[in-house]
Amino acid sequence: MAKMTLDQLRALRAQKQEELEKRNVEGKDIQVIVGMGTCGIAAGAKQTFDAIVAALEKHNMAGKVVIRQTGCMGLCYVEPTVEVVMPDMPPVIYGKMTSDVAEELVVKHLVEHSLLDSHIFDRPAIDIVKH
């Protein structure tokens, strides 16, 4: 692959015009926040971040999602941690979100609007989580 120029990058962006229309942060209603403190990085948060971006692209969700990073969320023992905030779903912090479960997160939570019960470590209240 030859080195891409910034002009080629602009052209590629234009090709994805349909997604672009949804690109303004204000217009996006799903937020995925990955914990990237020392604890997260040591547990593979960088790979998780990558895997989430790839899975969003694969399931045509990339244009609808804002993906962010944060520092330690205080759940170092279950890193990598990922928080998902979206309409009609409780905000959830998932733990042990290694890259191999990233796609499952995207499919279940973002596409199918259901929870990955076994990975929930904070919020929603314990009584609404099935065991």
Partner 1 sequence: MHFTIGDFVLDVVQNSVEAGSHIIEVEIDEAQDGVHARIADDGCGMGSEERERALDPLRNSGAKHPGRKVGLGLPFIRQAVEQAEGSFSLKSEKGKGTEVRFFFPASNIDSPPVGDVVSLFVALLSMAGTREMKLRRTRARDGLSYEVKKSELVEAAGDLSSASSLSLVRQFLASQEEG
Q: Contact residues for partner 1 (CB under 8 A)?
A: 1-4, 6-10, 12-13, 16, 19-20, 23-25, 28, 32, 36-39, 41-42, 46-47, 49-50, 52-54, 56-57, 61-63, 65-69, 71-72, 74
Residues 6+ apart with CB under 8 A from 65: 28, 30, 31, 32, 56, 110
Residues 6+ apart with CB under 8 A from 3: none
Residues 6+ apart with CB under 8 A from 103: 51, 55, 58
Quote the tokens at residue 7: 């002009």
**Residue whose CB is less far from partner 1, 73 or 115:** 73
**Residue whose CB is less far from partner 1, 2 or 125:** 2
> What is the closest distance, in whole angstroms, from the C-beta atom of residue 13 to partner 1 in the complex?
5
**Residue whose CB is less far from partner 1, 45 or 115:** 45
> What is the closest distance, in whole angstroms, from the C-beta atom of residue 96 to partner 1 in the complex?
17
Residue 90: φ, ψ to 5°? -70, 145
